[in-house]
Amino acid sequence: MVYNANNMTPKHNKVFVTGDLHLGDAAFRQEDKLIDIIKAQKPGSIIFGGDTFDPWRGKSIENIVAKYDQFFKFLQGVSAKVVFIEGNHDPNIAVLKKLGFSIGKNYKYHDATGRRIKVIHGHEFDNDCQRWEFLVKKMVLLEEWVNKFLIKLDPDSRIRFARLMGNIDIVRIVKNFHRKVRGLISEEVLMFGHLHVPWIGEKKDLKFYNWGGWQSDYGFKPRYILQDGPHIKMQTVK
Paired residues of 224 in beta bridges: 235
CATH topology of domain 14-236: Purple Acid Phosphatase; chain A, domain 2 (3.60.21)
End-to-end CA gap in the chain: 34
- Helix (H), strand (E) at residue 160: none
- Confidence at residue 91, expressed as pLDDT on a 0 to 100 scale: 84
What's the whole-model pTM score?
A: 0.88
Give the rounded percent of residues in the chain with a pLDDT score beyond 70: 93
Where do the structural domains in the chain lie, given as residue ranges?
A: 14-236
- pLDDT tens, residue by residue, 135-167: 777 888 788 888 788 788 887 777 776 665 555
- pLDDT tens, residue by residue, 101-124: 999 999 999 998 999 999 999 999
Q: Note whether 24 and 64 are within 8 A (CB).
A: yes
| Angstrom distance (rounded) from CA 11 to CA 2 | 17
CA dihedral angle for residue 127, residue 132, residue 133, residue 135, rounded to 10 degrees: -170
Residue 86: Cβ-neighbour burial (10 angstroms; 0-12, 13-18, 19+): buried
Which of 222, 194, 169, 229 minimizes the C-alpha distance to 106? 194
